[in-house]
């Protein structure tokens, strides 16, 4: 059979087009995407902090350290409580001694005694990992040791983390640190081992005033979901596009 | 605090005002060394390519040297990364399970690609020499010569054809590799810039200009280090020749050297101007747009780190050597001083980016000060202290000394590509 160059080129183009047709009609999806499209996770964990209710007792920090085996004396913590004191002269003083673990029992703030008469407002703000929907820490991990579960919680695999610290740098909220014993990246995971077992997170359980609560955003009947959807809530640093999932009631504009 | 309770970073970080509890200076001296050494590698290679690709004949002497020197620098660029890892035994994981959304996941791939290019270019440039050595050492007595011949036989990889055609192919291959190597070298270092520039959480780092600034300053530092090392070695050789009574040869070396230095200096100045312009542009842009982070950045730049940025980096490290190099009647001594200052300036730039980027809290309400561990009292304070940095800085010279025993990059009498 003879085949001119023109015929050969024509046939090649036609053949390639025919071969590409079925490929066009198929969209490649990762297993995760496919699963999400067909069934989807029934759970999306979210956290609700009511700053109006927090008294800065520090029981949450204490409970977290114990539950998650973060050395008690180490100056790092998965969660912490900040105290804000705004005085009449317009200055804002912030502190979180020992991550707020021992409570705020004196009026002294960073070595300065403030006259109660001078205070315009003062409040406490608990902080923890925001379990972002677009987590920069997951994006930058070079080995995939930190990852997001389908119910929205970001976890760290201590067996696989190389300890490069890129995730620590990438988190705009400063929640990550190196575990003093395991020498791997560490952060709050909403007590994943507890919540997936039907229990409350250690800090939620320890809080005497219900300033910390957790719920499932996919369940419209969940009381926490109802607050988040019906009340005016705020998140921290949304300008980074991280889509944080720790929601705050009564958040002041001074909070950083 | 007991020894098993060392919080990484707490040792050398001093906090001021309000800093989040978990914030410390996590990326310390070794992460300053990483872009510094990578920059030197990339710069050395670009200098050598100026001859191999663009045919800048008067750069031949320094080009050969730079090529071999960039090979000596190459393994050392990865060393700081290894030293800063909290789990150094897992260092190969980014190659085994790379997570490609991370800017550092591809480091191993980019780095090895670049390494292969440098290695093969050197092989093509020196293959003729390797073959000649195998023949020359054939009947030489002594165990040392036998071992050397064995090494050279290995280095030829069995390719003994030194006909004109074969050598011409070698030259062509070296030229192509040098050409491909330039974008790869720039990528290797631009990539280091991207690692920092893409961190959106860090107000100082986040800038699309970061990779370009890194490339420019990389070339500046690479050229400066090659020139400096070249001058020192040439002066040493001249000094040795004078002691042996070879006076005329010494002056010849001096003459040849001056041409190379003059030409390299022009390139150095060009890249220096580009680097400084971009850095100043970045600074002006930040001030003009005055985003939320500008208040804290301004206090870091103009107050806490003023000396490091404006006095040590811009004035002593950029302006002074610029003037020294551009004034007429330049002598070798003045050049050496200027080159040392340029190298210092680029180091300070890396320091001010890496440490400066961690000098303020993410709360924008406090500062962190870095106190580099001098006397080590643990593995960590050695690795991430002054002696760790000195180890890294001295490695390329040791490696070069070894490599140069087999690949004589400073010998003019050898005919190479």
pLDDT at B258: 79
Residue B1 touches chain A, beta carbons under 8 Å: yes
pLDDT at A66 over 90: yes
Q: Which residues of B touch A184 (CB under 8 A)?
A: 86-87
Which chain A residues are within 8 Å of B7, Cβ to Cβ? 74-76, 177-178, 180
pLDDT of residue B19: 97
Beta bridge partners of A185: A178
The set of residues, in sequence order, having a beta carbon less than 8 Å from that of B217 and lying 6+ positions away, is B39, B275, B346, B349
The pLDDT score that the predictor gives to residue B236 is 84
Q: Give residue A31's pLDDT.
A: 66
pLDDT of A157: 97
**Given a cut of 70, is residue A37 above it in pLDDT?**
no
The per-residue pLDDT for A143 is 96
pLDDT in tens, B330-355: 888 999 999 999 999 999 999 999 99
Distance from CA of A175 to the nearest CA of B (A): 6
Give the nearest chain B residue to A141 (CA atoms): B102
The C-alpha atoms of residue B30 and residue B99 are separated, in whole angstroms, by: 23
Chain A 44-103, residues with CB within 8 Å of chain B CB atoms:
71, 73-77, 80, 82, 92-96, 98-99
> Residue B194 — very low, low, confident or very high, per pLDDT cuts 50/70/90?
very high
Find the mean pLDDT for residues B114-120. Answer: 93
The share of chain A scoring above pLDDT 90, in percent, equals 81
The pLDDT value recorded for residue B1 is 43
Provide the shortest C-alpha distance from residue B284 to chain A (in Å): 23
- Per-residue pLDDT reduced to its tens digit, B243-274: 887 655 555 556 657 788 888 899 999 999 99
pLDDT at B55: 77
The reply to whether residue B21 touches residue A99, judged by beta carbons under 8 angstroms, is: yes
Q: What is the pLDDT of residues A115-164, one digit of tens each?
A: 999 999 999 999 999 999 999 999 999 999 999 999 999 999 999 999 99
Distance from CA of A247 to the nearest CA of B (A): 18
Q: What is the mean pLDDT of residues B303-317?
A: 96
Q: What is the pLDDT of residue B256?
A: 59
Q: What is the pLDDT of residue A38?
A: 59
pLDDT at B252 (0 to 100): 55
Q: Please determine, for residue B3, whether its predicted confidence score (pLDDT) is greater than 50.
A: no
Q: Residue B199: list chain A partners with CB under 8 A.
A: 140, 169-170
Averaging pLDDT over each range in A18-22, A206-210, B236-240, which range is the top one? A206-210
Q: Which two tokens stand for residue A208?
A: 């005497």
Average of per-residue pLDDT across B314-331: 94
- How far lies A80's CA from each of A128, A150, A208, A245, in Å? 7, 26, 16, 17
Instruction: With beta carbons less than 8 A apart as the criterion, state whether B167 and B242 touch.
Output: no
Residues of chain B with C-beta less than 8 angstroms from the C-beta of A92: 365
**Which residues 185-244 on chain A approach chain B with CB closer than 8 angstroms?**
239-241
* Sign of the Cα pseudo-torsion (B59, B274, B213, B190, in order): negative
**pLDDT, greater one: A37 or B66:** B66
Closest CA to B90 of A64, A163, A120: A163
Mean pLDDT of chain A: 92
Largest distance between two CA atoms of chain B: 75
Q: What angle do CA A208, A213, A215 make, to 5 degrees?
A: 155
Measuring CA to CA, how many Å separate A30 from each of A33, A35, A138, A151, B229? 5, 9, 17, 17, 52
Higher-confidence residue of B5 and B282: namely: B282
Q: Does A169 touch chain B (CB under 8 A)?
A: yes
CATH architecture of the domain A136-145+154-186 equals 2-Layer Sandwich (3.30)
Nearest by CB to residue B7, choosing from A164, A168, A180, is: A180
CATH architecture group of domain B15-406? Up-down Bundle (1.20)
* Mean per-residue pLDDT of chain B: 90
pLDDT at A107: 87
Q: What is the pLDDT of residue A22?
A: 63
Contacts of B215 (CB under 8 A, 6+ apart): B42, B186, B189, B190, B193
Q: Which of B1, B14, B22 to mutate to test the interface with A (most CBs of A within 10 A)?
A: B22
Please report, for chain B, the start and end positions of each structural domain, with discontinuous segments joined by +: 15-406
What is the predicted pLDDT for the residue at B185?
87
Subunit contact A172:B365, Cβ cutoff 8 A: no
ipTM of the prediction: 0.90
Inter-CA distances, A170 with A64, B116, B352, Å: 23, 32, 18
Q: Are the C-beta atoms of residues A54 and A211 closer than 8 Å to each other? A: yes
Give A242 to chain B, closest Cα distance, Å: 10
A80:B101 CB<8 A = no
Q: Which residues in chain A have Cβ-Cβ distances shorter than 8 Å to B5? A: 71, 73-74, 180-181
The better pLDDT of the pair B137, A32 is held by B137
Could you say which of B90, B98, B365 has the minimum Cβ distance to residue A256? Answer: B365
Q: Please write the tens of the pLDDT for every residue from B86-104.
A: 999 999 999 999 999 998 8
CA A133 remoteness from chain centre? 8
- Residue in B94, B361, B362 nearest the CB of A142: B94
Size of interface A-B (CB pairs under 8 A): 147
User: Is B374 an interface residue toward A (CB < 8 Å)?
Assistant: no
pLDDT at residue B2 greater than cutoff 80: no
């Amino acid at each position: 059979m003879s085949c001119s160059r023109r015929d050969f080129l024509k046939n090649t183009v036609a053949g390639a087009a025919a071969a590409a047709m079925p490929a066009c009609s198929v969209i490649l999806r990762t297993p995760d995407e496919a699963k999400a499209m067909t069934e989807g996770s029934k759970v999306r964990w979210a956290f609700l902090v009511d700053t109006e209710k927090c008294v800065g007792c520090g029981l949450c920090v204490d409970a977290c350290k114990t539950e998650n085996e973060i050395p008690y004396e180490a100056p790092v913590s998965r969660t912490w409580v900040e105290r804000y004191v705004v005085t009449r002269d317009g200055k804002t003083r912030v502190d979180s001694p020992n991550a707020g673990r021992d409570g705020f029992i004196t009026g002294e703030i960073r070595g300065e005694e403030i006259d109660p008469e001078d205070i315009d407002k003062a409040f406490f703000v608990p902080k923890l990992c925001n379990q972002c929907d677009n987590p920069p820490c997951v994006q930058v991990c070079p080995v995939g040791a930190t990852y997001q579960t389908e119910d929205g919680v970001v976890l760290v695999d201590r067996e696989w983390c190389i300890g490069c610290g890129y995730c620590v740098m990438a988190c705009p909220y400063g929640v990550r640190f190196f575990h003093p014993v395991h020498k791997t990246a560490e952060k709050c995971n909403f007590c994943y081992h507890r919540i997936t077992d039907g229990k409350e997170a250690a800090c939620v359980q320890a809080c005497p005033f219900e300033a910390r609560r957790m719920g499932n955003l996919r369940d419209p009947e969940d009381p926490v979901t109802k607050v988040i959807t019906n009340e005016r809530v705020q998140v921290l640093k949304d300008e980074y596009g991280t889509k944080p999932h720790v929601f705050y009631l009564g958040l002041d504009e001074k909070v950083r | 605090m007991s020894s098993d309770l060392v919080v990484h970073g707490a040792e050398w970080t001093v906090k001021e005002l309000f800093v989040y509890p978990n914030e410390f200076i996590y990326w310390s001296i070794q992460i300053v060394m990483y872009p510094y050494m990578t920059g030197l590698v990339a710069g050395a290679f670009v200098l050598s390519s100026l001859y191999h690709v663009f045919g800048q004949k008067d750069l031949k002497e320094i080009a050969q040297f730079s090529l071999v020197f960039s090979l000596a620098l190459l393994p050392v660029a990865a060393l700081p990364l290894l030293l800063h890892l909290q789990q150094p035994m897992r260092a190969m994981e980014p190659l085994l399970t790379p997570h490609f959304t991370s800017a550092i996941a591809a480091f191993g791939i980019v780095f090895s690609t670049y390494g292969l290019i440098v290695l093969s270019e050197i092989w093509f440039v020196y293959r003729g020499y390797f073959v000649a050595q195998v023949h020359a050492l054939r009947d030489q007595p002594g165990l040392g010569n036998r071992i050397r011949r064995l090494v050279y036989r290995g280095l030829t990889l069995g390719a003994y054809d030194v006909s004109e055609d074969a050598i011409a192919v070698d030259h062509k291959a070296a030229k192509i590799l040098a050409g491909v190597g330039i974008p790869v070298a720039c990528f290797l270092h631009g990539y280091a810039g991207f690692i920092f520039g893409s961190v959106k959480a860090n107000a100082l780092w986040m800038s699309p200009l970061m990779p370009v600034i890194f490339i420019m300053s990389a070339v500046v530092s690479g050229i400066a280090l090659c020139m400096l090392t070249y001058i020192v070695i040439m002066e040493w050789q001249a000094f040795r020749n004078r002691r042996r009574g070879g006076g005329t040869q010494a002056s010849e070396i001096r003459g040849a050297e001056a041409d190379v230095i003059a030409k390299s200096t022009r390139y150095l100045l060009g890249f220096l101007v580009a680097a400084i312009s971009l850095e100043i542009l970045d600074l002006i842009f930040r001030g003009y747009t005055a985003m939320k982070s500008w208040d804290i950045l301004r206090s870091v730049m103009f107050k806490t780190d003023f000396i490091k940025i404006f006095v040590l980096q811009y004035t002593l490290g950029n302006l002074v050597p610029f003037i020294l190099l551009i004034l007429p009647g330049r002598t070798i001594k003045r050049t050496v001083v200027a080159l040392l200052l340029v190298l210092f300036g680029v180091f300070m730039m890396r320091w001010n980016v890496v440490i400066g980027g961690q000098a303020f809290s993410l709360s924008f309400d406090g500062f962190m000060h870095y106190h580099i561990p001098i006397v080590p009292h643990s593995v960590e304070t050695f690795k991430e202290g002054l002696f760790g940095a000195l180890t890294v800085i001295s490695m390329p010279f040791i490696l070069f000394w070894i490599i140069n025993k087999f690949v004589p990059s400073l010998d003019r009498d050898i005919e190479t590509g």
